[in-house]
Structure formats: C-alpha cells, structure tokens
Chains A and B, each alone.
Chain A
Amino acid sequence: MIELSGIDKFYADGAEQKHVLKNICMTVSEGDFISVCGTSGCGKTTLLNILGLLDTFDSGEYIFDGQSMADLKEKEMTVFRNSHIGFVFQDFMLIQKETVFFNVALPLYFSKKAPEDLAMRVRDALEDVGLEDLQYKKVSTLSGGQKQRVAIARAIVNQPRLILADEPTGALDAKSTEQMLRLFERLNQRDRTAFVIVTHDPAVADFCKIHYDMIDGQLCLRP
C-alpha cells in the first residue's frame, strides 16, 4: 500500500540545515500493525507527518497505492488525506467546546457526505468505540480515555486505509491505554486498516506486530 524509499528531510536550524530524516525506507501493507519507537527528537513525528501528508519531504519517493505523493498539489493532498488517512494524536486535537457528534463528523463535513449518510457513519463510528450514548455530550466534559476514543472515532469515520497515531497513549492511564490498544487491534483485524503508531512506550510497541526503531533520523526494522 505504501512505499517510502530514500526519504530525506532537512530543517533549517539557524544558519545550518538539520538532517532530520536520513534515507528512510519503509513499507506499509494493508492490515499492518506497525510501531515506530525512538527517543524524543529523533524524527519519528516528522516521519508520521510525512506519511500523513501533513509535511513535505526534500528527497526520496513516497508511493501510496502506486501513486507518487510528491506529484500531488496541496488541494489533492488534502482530499487524499481526508479519504485515506486517519489521525490520532496524544493531545486528541478535538474541538473541546463542541459535541462528540460534531467532532466525529468533521471529516465528513469536508468530504461532502449527505446528511443522512453522515449521521449513520458517525453513529457507526461511535458504536465501534463504545461512545454511542455520549454523542451529544460536550468533549470538554469527557475523561481523557473517552476523548481519545472520540479521536479514534473521528479517525475511522471516513473508513480510511491507514491510521497514524502519534503517541496515542501519552495522556492516558494504564487501563485506558489497554482499552485503546484493544480497540486498535479490533479495527485492524476487522477492517484490515493499517496502523502506524509512533511511541516511546515499550508496552505499546510490544502490542504491535511490526517494529521499527528510529535512531538519529535513521529507521531500522527490528528483527
């Protein structure tokens, strides 16, 4: 499904150029459950942003379903991201003052879904994460675990083929972490959705089937 080859990324660090990602090669297939581990600042979030088309790369090739992502214009990238990729962040990235329903429906607002279809899809996504009873609650009133489940529902509502999670358990307690990982596993097995989880928590990494380590901008597949 995804092939990254020879990806390099530089950031300007004052007058110098910082080489953040060095010759990254990675393959993500349908149904993969991948973890990327590494210390803070090693470049794993940058990799995730490139995978999610939130950031650009300086050299190399990114192929998604046989299509080069380097050729896409910004507008096409947005549409592609909306329909193929879901995101889960450590800080949830939810609109706190809005309801659970609104937050989950956001990606559908931008993909021009009919209102009936929209409501049905949101309901299904909330059922998947076990929050169907809380759809009219304000996000600000929910617990951390519930917020993360809202974020997951939002990530899956458009039935993406890839879900990218950036330290998804960072703000959760052990019980919520366990529940969230079980949910990921279930979605992965049921829908064959690929997961790439960036984490520095070994317990989360152990839950995944494929393990990558990011060391100083270089990605290594753990045997």
Chain B
Amino acid sequence: MNIFRLCKSLYAGSFVRLVFLFLVMTLSMQSLVVAIGLLRYHRAIDGQIHSIQNAHGVYLMQFELGEAIWDQENIQEAGEKISQLPGVREVIRTRELHVECNNESYTLLVYHEWMAKHFRPHAIRGEWVDSSDSVVISSYGAMRNVIGQKLMLTFRNGSDTVTYPITVQGVMGNTSHVLRLTRSATALSLQDLQYPAYGHLQKYMIVSETSVFYRTFRDAFQTGRNFLVLFEGEIPLQTEQALRAMGLVMDFRELDQNTEKEYELGMFYVRYLLLFSGMSLILAFGMSLSFVREKHRELAVYAICGCRRWQKKMLSSLGVILIATVSFLLQSMVICFFYKWHLYRILENAVIAPRLIGVIAGYTLLICAVSWISSDVIYGKKQLVDVLQENRK
C-alpha cells in the first residue's frame, strides 16, 4: 500500500481549507488572549476592579536628575534643600533598599499613591496601608502572623544608616501585577511611570525578595541619581511648587486623563475582541466538524475497500500531525506579528503568556485537542454502517 499516496489523497486537497480553518481558529484564540491581556492590563488583579475616575490628584513623580545638571555635590545639596521643605520627613539617597525584620531580609517596594488606588493587591489579612508609618507584607513574607509588629526599616544612605520604624498593618495576596504595572506603563509609552515607586515615599509595603523586584530597584538606585523623600501625610502645595521649581515634580493630571482614555479604549477593544473571538471560534468549530466529517466519509470508503483499523488510525494520525504542523506555523506567525508590532506586552498580561514557546505549544495542543475530541466524540465511535447510512440520507 502506498501510504503517502493515500495520505495525499486524504489531505492534499484540503490544505488550503485547513490553513483557512486554523487561521480562523488561531485568530480566535489569539484575540481571546489579547482580550484577557487587555482586561488584566486595564484592571486590577485579584478580582478587584478599581475605577480610575477619581485619579486626578497631583502626585509626585520620580526625580530624574540629569547628570549634566546634578553632580554628586549637587545631589547632596538638592537632598538638603528638599529635606527642609514642609512635610518632608526624610530624604534618602540610597543605593540599596532593603529592610530587616526578625533577622530576615526583605526588599522594600515603595508604593505610589496612584498605584495604590488602581493596582492595589488584595489584602488577605489585616488592612491596606493607610498611613506613612504602616506597611503590608506579602503572604510569602508573612510566614507567621506579624500584624501589629513594629519593623525597623534600615536604609544605607550613602555612608550613613537610617532607621525608620513602621507597623505591619496587613498581609496582601498576589503582588505580581505590580511588576506588570511597570511593564504596562512602558507599553503605554509612559516611560516616566517605569519606576513610579521611589519618587516620594507615602506608602510602603514589603514584598519577598524576588529577583525581578530586586533587580528593578537595584538598577534604579545604582544610578545614584534618585531620592527617596518621606512625606508626612499629604504633600503640601508649597512643597510641591518648590519641587516643581527645581524641575523635580511632574503633574499627573494630564497623565491620568490619558490613562482614562486608554482605559476606555482598552475596554472597547476588549468587548469587540471577545465578540470576535467567540464568533470566530464558533465558525472554526463548525468548519472543523465539517472537515472531520468529510474525512471520516473518505475513511469509510477506504474501509469498504479493505483499509484496516491500524491503517485508518495511521492515516488519521498523519492528519493530526499535519494539523498540528499547520497550527504551529500559524501560531508562530501570529506571535511574530505581535512582536513585530510590539504587542507582546499585551500577551504578557494574559493568563497564559510568559514564555513564547510555551504559549505556541499550548495553543497547538489546544487546537489539536479540539480536533481530536470533536473527531473522536462525534465520529470516532461510529461504525462503518452508520457512516454508510448517513451517506444514504
């Protein structure tokens, strides 16, 4: 038996149809992922959805002190000037940021008010920070109940060491979206949001030392051009104006409005992407069933002509390999397009995403599973006689 001839007969004529089918299916899957990614991108994680309607306050941004303007001495001088402004409790120029508590080391993530409003992790115990003297710690870090304990934050500020007492007020859940926030911010081209946390210090939280967080802050502080400014409560207008005059303050109003527009646009896309995804998935599934049905009819003809069960299985398997290959190529192409258009950050925000190969393999597996399941459930158990009867009808 010339298996290649039979295989060619079964699948060659269907190649274009197969490509179209999987293109539809791939687009459907990808748009679903993008929709999920966008949804996560624009909403808080852990099931909390925060409106951005009220996010119009003035917030301080990180201090970008250009080297051309600020040399080491100037930085010192600027730090001194800032520390004398009303409401400023402490100005810290630091290269490393870590805290110690009960002989355990944590990385400190300074939580920006704007971030706290929109990307606040779910507090699973205790309460969210409500003063500049309180912290929440990650569930990973909270190996035992530490709510109410006093922690001593220890910073190395140049050659000095600064100790700063704070109280653990709550334990929070997943903090991974904080990382996503910094990436999302970049994706939104809001480059200035990339390190939104250490411009001023109004709220704190302690997270376990993950390499990513650690690297982010280490890199940021190693520039030696940044300050941590500890404020007492709200930032007085006078201080804000002074910092602005020094070129150290950025107004978030316009930024927030842009973000709001981005949010609305994002939600618009999410809705239509979900609609498109659902409809194309139904279309693809219908096409898939029709394809499988046709192949089963052809295999029934083969069976009448003496094709044995193992030969049928082999031919079906070759079909699945073909389907998997076509699917894999299409998935790869689509994801390449994502990268080409710098949309991969959206993918990264989706449920399944971090590793490209894993994503492609996952989709391929999913699509093949859909084909197999539809094939097996709907036609696999049918006897040859049933197929003959169907054909007669």
Contact = CB atoms under 8 A, between A and B. Distances in A.
B308 A75 contact: yes
B2 A75 contact: no
A55 B383 contact: yes
A109 B303 CA distance: 12
B312 to A, nearest CB: 10
Give the bracket for the number of chain B residues in contact with chain A: 20 to 34
B interface: dominant SS: helix
A54 B260 CA distance: 67
Contact of B304 (A87, A98, A111): A87
B311 A110 contact: yes
B272 interface: no
Interface in B340-392: 383-385, 388-389, 391-392
A209 interface: no
A94 to B, nearest CB: 7
B383 A106 contact: no
A49 B311 contact: no
A54 B384 contact: yes
A23 interface: no
Contacts of B385: 49, 54-55
Nearest to B301: A93
Interface in B293-342: 298, 300-309, 311
Nearest to A75: B308
A100 B130 CA distance: 82
A49 B388 contact: yes
Interface in B1-19: 1-2, 5-6, 9, 13
Interface in A73-127: 74-75, 78-79, 81-83, 87, 89-91, 93-95, 97-98, 102, 106-107, 109-112
Given A106-B301, A109-B2, A54 B307 contact: no
Nearest to B386: A55
Contacts of B301: 93-95, 106
Contacts of B392: 45, 89-91
B13 A97 contact: yes
Contacts of A98: 9
Interface residues of A, number: 28
A110 B301 CA distance: 12
A49 B385 CA distance: 7
Interface string A145-170: 00000000010000000000000000
A102 B9 contact: yes
Contacts of B305: 82, 106-107, 109-110, 154
A91 B383 contact: no
Given A95-B9, A109-B6, A54 B388 contact: yes
Contacts of A55: 383, 385
Q: Which of B5, B308, B383 has the most CB of A within 10 A?
A: B308
Nearest to A80: B306
B307 A110 contact: yes
18 contacts: A45-B389, A54-B304, A55-B385, A75-B309, A78-B303, A78-B306, A87-B304, A89-B388, A91-B391, A93-B304, A95-B9, A98-B9, A106-B301, A106-B302, A107-B306, A109-B1, A109-B305, A110-B308
Interface of A: 45, 49, 54-55, 74-75, 78-79, 81-83, 87, 89-91, 93-95, 97-98, 102, 106-107, 109-112, 154
Given A54-B385, A111-B306, 14 more contacts: A54-B384, A54-B388, A55-B383, A75-B309, A78-B308, A79-B306, A81-B304, A91-B391, A91-B392, A93-B391, A95-B298, A95-B301, A98-B9, A154-B305
What 6 pairs across the A-B complex have the smallest Cβ distances? A82-B306, A110-B306, A106-B305, A107-B305, A55-B385, A109-B1
